[in-house]
Amino acid sequence: MNATKFILVAAAVLACTILPILATIGYEAVRTQGITHEVLARAPERGNYLPRHIKAQAGKLVRLRIRNVDTVTHGFTLPDFGIDVGDLKAGHSTIVEFTPQKPGTHAFYCTVWCSDHHLQMRGTVEVVAP
């Protein structure tokens, strides 16, 4: 089998095996370039928000993606910054932005009935001085 054919066949095989995986990783990386933090929403018995404590810097934009990897609807609200995403359905994600100005600790929590331990579904954003 000559070289051209070999290269073509190898390309075809790679395109159908490795390429989809690389493309997925690559596309996701490109899409999340601007994201500064990602929070996974899960019911407390399945691990709660991950991470539960986010660190941010005063004056720097926070572009936060909340991704619901759980099988129930969750919510996310960060009242000190006026953020409330409403219903975040299972398997969906959303992006919120805010720029903290002063150091401090701010609580975020879930606003949708999601589990027996729903009231424990909360975390904090800790803003440190630049």
Partner 1 sequence: MRKSSVIILCALTVALFAGLVYYGWANRWGGPPQGGVDPPPELAMPYVECALALGAADFDAAPWKDLAPFRVQLLHQITAAPHATGLVPELRVRAFHDGKDAYFLFEWPDAQESREHGAGHFPDACAVAFSLAPEPPKHSIMMGFESPVNIWQWKADLDAQVWKVASGESAASPNEHYTYEEPAAFPARTTPPSSACQDLISPRPGLVTPKPWGRIAGRGQWRDGHWRVILKRALAAAPAGLRADVQLTPGRHYTAFAAWNGDTGDRGARKSISDWVILDVQPAAPGQGRSASTHEIGAEGPWPAKHAKDAKRAGDRRSKIEDQESKIPPRGPAFSLFPTAAAGTVDPEPPKEPEPRVITIKAKRFEYMPSEITVQKGERITLRLESLDVTHGLYLDGYEVDIKANPTKVGVATFVADKPGRFTFRCSETCGEFHPYMIGYLMVEPNTRFRVYVVATIGLAVAAAVLVFFRTRQSKGAAPNA
Partner 2 sequence: MPEERNEGRGTSGEGGGALPIENPKSEIRNPKSRGEGRLLGLIPLSWRYDLAALPGVRWLLKRRWFPMIAILVNLFIFMGILTGGILGGFSPGNYSFTIMIVWILWWVMLMLVLVPVFSRTWCMVCPLPAFGEWLQRLKVFGVNNQLQGLNLKWPRRLRNMWLMNFLFLGTTFFSGFFTVKPLATFMLLGSIIVLGIVIMLIFEKRSFCLYICPVSGFQGLYSNMAMTEVRVKDPAICAKHKTKTCETGNKRGYGCPWLLEPHSFTRNTYCGMCLECFKTCPFDNVAFNLRPPGTDLLVNDKRGLDEAWKGFIMLGIAIMFYTAMMGPWGWLKEMVRGATLGGWLTFVAIHAAFNLLALPGVFLVFAWLAKALSGDRNVALKAVFVNLSYAMVPMGLAAWIAFSFGFLLPNGSYILHILSDPFARGWNLIGTAGFPWTPVLTGWLVPFQYVSLLVGLVFGADYGYKLARQTFADERAARRGFIPLLAFLVLVALFFGWLYGG
Q: Which residues bind partner 2 (CB under 8 A)?
A: 1, 9, 12-13, 15-17, 19-21, 24, 27-28, 31, 65, 67, 69-71, 90-95
Question: Would you state the structure tokens that stand for residue 76, as one six-digit string?
Answer: 């996310």
20 binds partner 1 (CB under 8 A): no
Sign of CA dihedral 94, 95, 98, 100: positive
CB 78 within 8 A of CB 98: yes
3-state SS assignment for residue 118: helix
Minimum separation from the CB atom of position 44 to partner 1 (A)? 4
8 or 13, CB closer to partner 1? Answer: 13
Minimum separation from the CB atom of position 68 to partner 1 (A)? 9
Between the alpha carbon of residue 125 and those of residues 12, 13, 66, 72, the distances in Å are 47, 46, 13, 24
| Candidate residues 76, 77, 106, 124; the one interacting with partner 1 per rule CB under 8 A | 77
Q: From residue 43 to residue 62, what is the string marking binding to partner 1 with x (rule CB under 8 A)?
A: xxxxxxxx-x----------
79 binds partner 1 (CB under 8 A): yes
Instruction: Return the amino acid letter for 102.
Output: K
